[in-house]
Amino acid sequence: MSISPIGFTPGFSSLPSMPSVAAPAPGGEGFAGMVTDNLERLQGLHSKSDKLIVKAATGDLTDIHDYMIASSQSSVATELTVAVRNRAVEAFTEVMRMNV
């Protein structure tokens, strides 16, 4: 029995895609580069949300849905970043407790 993949769903074409996980290329930045890139993306989401709320406050925003979507994306991305950071700190603490 095989499960067929889910096809294209109308209305969800603008959702961000998850980055693929691959081994870093030799000489690449590796984990540090990945963290830096994702923090820059998070900053970009917050900047977009901030710009849209300023437009809403000045009356220049034509569709409030744009702000709500940007705000939700930045909120979820921040929550994910904090959760990953907390797990990394827990893992580091656990490694430091290990006897050598």
Per-residue pLDDT tens digits of the chain, which is 100 residues long:
555 555 545 554 554 555 555 555 555 578 888 889 999 999 999 999 999 999 999 999 888 999 999 999 999 999 999 999 999 999 999 999 998 7
Q: Are 45 and 67 in contact, with CB atoms under 8 Å apart?
A: no
Instruction: Name, in order, each residue with C-beta under 8 angstroms of 29's C-beta and a sequence gap of 6 or more.
Output: 36
